[in-house]
Chain A
Amino acid sequence: MQTRRAFLNKTMAGALGMTALDQLMAKGVISPLHHSPKAKRVIFLYQAGGPSHLETFDYKPRLAEMHLKPMPESFTKGQQIAQLQGKPLICYGPQLGFKKFGKSGQEMCELFPRMGSVADEVCIIRSMWGEQINHDPAHTLMNTGSILPGRPSMGSWALYGLGAETEDLPGYVVLMSAGRGGQMQPIAQRQWSAGILPSKLQGVKLNSIGDPVLYIQNPAGMGEGLQKESIDAVGALNKAAYQSLRDPEILTRVAQYEMAFRMQTSVPGLVDMSKEPASVLETYGATPGDGSFASNCLLARRLAERGVRFIQLYHRDWDHHGGVKANVTLKAEEVDRATAALINDLKQRGMLDETLVIWGGEFGRTPMSQGGDGRDHHIKGFSYMMAGGGIKGGISYGATDELGYAAVEKPVSVHDFHATMLHLLGIDHLRMTVKFQGLDARLTGISGEVVKDILV
């Protein structure tokens, strides 16, 4: 394969202009795509901490009957357990009511009525399973398909394959919000790292406090005019150096300074939501500048409109070892309205068809109680919700056993999930690889199958 540098070396002596260079850099490596894509971008509403599937999407009447009875050992024997190690395992019935929503009659927790109102748009997967029972490695698996640090995150892979559609924003943006319950697990930067892929593919975090993008703000006293003149002077000096050295890296540097300046001018406008109509703010439940999940959902739509390829919102606060009822209730207040608003908003703008929306966390929670009113980490079965971008709406897929313990019907692994996501983006997960340590590294490791039944 010809390297970019080699290509540039050959052509740069000619008159390849800046614009051409920009386009070249933005291009993905999978070109043409492996097949016709259904989704152009992804918005991943990542519910960090491990939402209880039993109080959101997976109603288990049998578990209610078993409430406070010992968990049958046939379920748990030899299985991994987190904080309940060495403790009695007691069934804990669903703590919240469920309802059927929409024409499709999808069953969801009644505290999520607005998400219920878009039930016919979404597919609920009730048979997800994972391999890592602690937060840090579980996040890493969900984001990179591996538990070893250094593998690219799914957003980086998407950007690697498809390239960027925007020239003044990063192609992969990460947003983060905190819940009001205070059960906030840390999330390492590695979750949006480009790993072994070029670092320009890493996720860029947009912050709700301080500079929205690190170092986007000019130093105190430096006005926009002089900043522009400074960048122009740096560009002129770099181009002068290029004239004598003919090193294409110099031209890339010039282009990157220009892009940096464009980011400086576009990001403040992007994050300034004060001009959004009051009705829109109301629909999402967003208050500009509050850094909430609702504001981030609205911001996600704005990013999607501007061509950002992969948008990941982390909402932290789902680690409900205690008080699962009260805490899921609190979370429902925070996410129900905004999630539904985002799906509706995308639909109204004609963007839902080409935007894959994903809702889920790093694992689920035990059918057994912890500390009397909470649930421990659980990896054998949990739920995900997907919508838009080639996903069949109004369906449920897979199932856990009668107690909500293990995914028994049509289990979906993390790799299957990734394979499906890439498939919707027009990429065959088996054929997007990079060489690393002697292996053809890919997002899906050594397994993964597209879940065809949930596709349009």
Chain B
Amino acid sequence: MTAGTTDDTPTPQPDFGPVLSRRTLLRGAGAGATALGAGWLLDACSSGLKGGSSGSGKKTITIGFVSPQTGPLAGFALSDNYVVDTIRKSSAFSKGIKVGSKTYDVNIVVADSQSDPNRASQVAKQLITSNKVDMILVTSTPEVTNPVASVCESQGVPCVSTVVPWESWYFGRGAKQGTTFQYTTMFFFGLAEFGKTFIPMWDRIPNNKKVAEMFPNDADGTAFRQGWPPLLQPKGYTGVDGGAYADGTTDYTAMISKFKSEQCEIYVNGPLPPDFNVFWKQAAQQGFKPKLATVAKVLLFPADVVALGDLVINIATDAWWTPTMPYKSSIDGTTAQQLGDNFTQATGKQWVQSLGSTYSLFEVAYNAFTKASDPHDAKDVADKLRTMNYTGMCGALNFGGGPVPGVGIMKPAGVQWKKGTGKFPYDLKIVDNSANPDAPIEGDLEPTNA
């Protein structure tokens, strides 16, 4: 599979001509092997030399961008190609980034992680050794961001991640409280913000304060299982853990029975989207009907929502960006509303939250490069990332003021899926802005099951 890995760098293929005899095939294969071997050596040399003599007249900044464009997580990456195109066309990037007195051309190389952690670290290595990227931007769940960030940290390449709870990103890579990653940074939010978004919504629906928790046995699930109880207790809620099930489980009878016998009226989760599809259908079949379902990691995007149909109405989740938030681009002043509208106009698809976060990745990269003294000086660029403090498409982000160094915190809004009133079958409406007072309320919070 070579699809989507390198947008801009065609791989030269030996041309065997019309007649392919056994001999020419063997010769060709031999030549190919030699070329591969040589390439490998060159890669090794150049990465060895990297930090030392980078200013050899190269006037291009290369940015690698990794997201899960295919596979179970593909919903997260739906708008990524559109955003990359928009960024490429924006005057700030198309005219080149000015660093000091020099102007650098910008080359953005897009890679697909195929929703597979091994593939993600593979493409990150490829971007570093073959494309010689100056920075890697990566988005969407720890399965993508963590392997890429780990490669970047060990190879000394500046990296910005997003759309991953910071706990999964930080502790998931073996950090202890006090650890500082030198090259890798991120912006998104964490469990505290999930709590600040979800609990005020629970409080508004009269319930028995029993919370059904569906957390799988993976990076996010483990972080959630440890992180939710301390948030619940002070507010008087009790969690009922459904158990650390394996991703890809085909039957949730035991978990549903447990939630029903404990009479849980609130539901919170952190599963993979296909697993939630099976669970939520089965919950409906077996009559588990929580008064309010607040989901994380799933139903963030219209594609998942359509697959479940009317079962999604009044399920609540978090939104880290909507077109109605009063934010605008720090590089060319495009408003959030314009970004959303332009996306719908260009693709015919409904806006998605990742439009904002992916856009901000490039804003952060732009800001770091313009502040650095030399864009090829990885240490300097990474310094600028760790102290990043700016206001843009996702509001104010301060990488120096987060819970751990190099982590910027976004403020999500509480949203619910409602029956669509316009062009699309379901609309995402802001129903609670306790965690982000900037967000305008667009609808009433209603129980998932009355």
B partners with A: no
